[in-house]
Amino acid sequence: MSRASRDARDAEYAGFVTARQGHLRRVAYAICGDWHLAEDLLQTSLLKLYVAWPRIHSAGREEAYARQIIVRTSIDESRRPWRRERPGLEGRDEAARADLAPEERSALVDALQALPEMQRKVVVLRHWLGLSVEETARELRIAEGTVKSHSSRGLESLRGLLMTSEHPG
């Protein structure tokens, strides 16, 4: 690859990342539910995207591929043994407060984070990002029927959680 074509490729990649980074960060947050993990997830995903850039850019599938990387990297990271470790000594080492400032969270995001992981991923992909049942099934590597049932259960749970938060007590 010539220096000029590599520079052009890097410029196209940088342009895509500059334009879509905020959106992709929000997608990562919606998937994992933690801003710090979302940053890590996004950085790992952008590195993988850079490696695949020549192949996917020519096909015009940058956005879908980036989203797919985020979802799959999240699944991979959740399976890592160090994710199950607990910091400090029980009762001796206070964990840092994980809550964000109220203006940074909404009742919908809070309710979304209360869903089981796969329901949350399906709801985010189907109803926030607007993917079809087929696209969601393909990205999560699950059956279309499973997407439909997770979507139905997830939306029902969200309705219940949001109704409870609106009318406490």
Percent of the chain predicted with pLDDT > 90: 46
If you average pLDDT over residues 111-118, what whole number do you get? 90
Extract the runs of DSSP E, i.e. beta strands, from the chain.
none
Residue 144 and residue 158 in contact, taking contact as beta carbons nearer than 8 Å? no
Per-residue pLDDT band at 83 (split at 50, 70, 90): low
118-127 burial code (b ≥16 CB/10 A, e <16)? bbbbbbbbbe
Out of 1.10.1040.10, 3.40.50.300, 3.40.50.2300, 1.10.10.10, the CATH code matching 101-169 is 1.10.10.10
Q: Can you tell me the mean pLDDT for 114-136?
A: 91
How many residues appear in the chain?
A: 169
> What is the per-residue pLDDT across 42-81, written as a single tens digit (0 to 9) for each?
999 999 999 999 888 877 789 899 999 999 988 887 776 6
Euclidean distance between CA atoms 113 and 42, whole angstroms: 18
pLDDT at 5 over 60: yes
Per residue in 25-39, pLDDT (tens digit) is 999 999 888 899 899
Find out whether 59 and 105 touch, Cβ atoms under 8 Å: no
